Amino acid sequence: MTESFATTLPDRAVMSITGPDARSFLQRVITRGPEGVSPDAAQFSALLTPQGKVLADFIVFDDGEDGLFLDVPDSEADALLKRFTLYRLRANAAITPRDDLSVAAALGESEEELRMVAQALSPDPRSNAMGIRAIVPAGGPQSDVELYHTARIAAGVPEFGADYGPGEIFSTDVNHDLIGGVDYKKGCFVGQEVASRMHRKGGVRKRTIVLEAQAATPQAPVMAGEVEIGSVTSAAGSLALARVRIDRLTKALDAGASLTIEGDLARIVTDLSSL
């Protein structure tokens, strides 16, 4: 069972987008929302390259007034600011870094202390097993960051920075379509043509799955018999996230091959029928 925790996340940053066109200009750029964002429900979304690769993903909150907060990877905050400014065109919206704010997460009994200080708060939109996500004043404690990552790995939630970087992967490689990060019906977004074609034609070759193994370290190859089918991207205890060729995995399982990581047997935790 995942332990209760409350922590700020030092590898995340906050941006605000305000003004009458704050939602409408983002609506035509990012993979989900933000028209559906409400004070009680944040949304998970991403910005893609025109070729359909993930530049960055983020969680979008209602700021309680006339705009939005974006919970973004700190490493990509400057690049996102420049791109959003470019895509804004003549829209009436101001995009501002918010160094006075931090991103926080909590699970279980510790959620109440986060609720008391949050300026925006929502269940984590990626998984019901991830507790709550919030925008809080900067400078909060970071003592439970490892417990946060343990919870997200157990929940099967890949995360930018830990499991992938900018321009490396398609959104389906890290299950964005399965954890609420892509709306194929909402209309245009950057990279939509490639993403929609893969969705319609069943062109998904890779997925991220949860494996249980005694030895699992990031970058370790996942073997099906003698065939490498992918690699571990992050691990906590005996659980790991691994990005694998789903076609090779299926073929190996049909042939009765065992999965191993660094010589130890690995058990698939993810329900493959959901992929």
Strands 101-107 and 94-97, bridge-based pairing: unpaired
Q: Mean pLDDT across the stretch 224-231?
A: 95
| Mean pLDDT for the chain overall | 94
The CATH number given to 9-154 is 3.30.70.1400
Report the pLDDT value the prediction gives residue 144, as an integer from 0 to 100.
92
Residue in the block written with tokens 């409350």 = 6
Helices (H) and strands (E) in the chain, counts: 6, 16
Please list, residue by residue across 256-270, b when 16 or more beta carbons sit within 10 angstroms of its beta carbon and e when fewer do.
ebebbbeeeebeeeb
Q: What is the pLDDT of residues 92-120, one digit of tens each?
A: 999 999 999 999 999 999 999 899 999 99
pLDDT in tens, 170-201: 999 999 999 999 999 887 899 999 998 888 87
Per the CATH hierarchy, to which homologous superfamily does domain 205-275 belong? Aminomethyltransferase beta-barrel domains (2.40.30.110)
Tokens of residue 271, six digits: 């329900």
Q: How confident is the model at residue 1 (pLDDT cuts 50, 70, 90)?
A: low
Give the start-to-end residue ranges of the domains of the chain: 9-154, 205-275
CA distance 31 to 17: 17
Please state the pTM of the whole predicted model.
0.95
pLDDT 10s digits, 118-157: 999 999 999 999 999 999 999 888 889 999 999 999 999 9
pLDDT of residue 67: 94
66 secondary structure, DSSP code: S
